[in-house]
Structure 1
């Protein structure tokens, strides 16, 4: 049974490979004819990201300032979840995950 499955997968891969191999030159020729050499060789660059960034520079600055401030009573330092919750509580941003707070640039001195 295993041999049959492996052969089936191999045939599928070969068919898909042949499909892409034969279609690629046609696509490149067509793109070259319509848009020129640059378009045929290089990918088009995005003008803007697919979605606007949720965390702006202003929000980043506020979160960094918050992380440099005194942590809550009973804590030695800020946790990511506490920073995210406090940023929402203070109205810096509507909602933010602790993982997004982790990507905010860190203090380097």
Structure 2
């Protein structure tokens, strides 16, 4: 499923974007609010679902080459975070929905990691 379809299905707000969302197909997803867990568990091309919205999420997303970061529960990044994300080409999306709900909806849409497809 393409990122633009996910944005539409979950009614996500696009906060930063430097490419066409229809050109990105996430490879799966990872949910955590601990940066160290994301750095050791998320895979290249994953969607990262978190309620964190600070500057460090941009560094982690860029380092891991994630498809996008979905910021949940109405959290909003500040201007410096948005600017850095734009510079780094990191796509930040937001939603008022709880993390658990976002994960469930992504699962229903078929966004799964290869090891969880069974």
- Sort the TM-score into its range (normalised by shorter chain): under 0.3
Q: TM-score, normalised by structure 2?
A: 0.25
As a proportion of its length, which structure holds more strand? 2
Higher relative CO (CA 8 A, sep ≥ 6), structure 1 or 2?
2
Q: TM-score, normalised by structure 1?
A: 0.27
Kindly indicate which of the two structures has a greater share of residues assigned to helix: 1
Who wins on radius of gyration, i.e. which is larger? 1
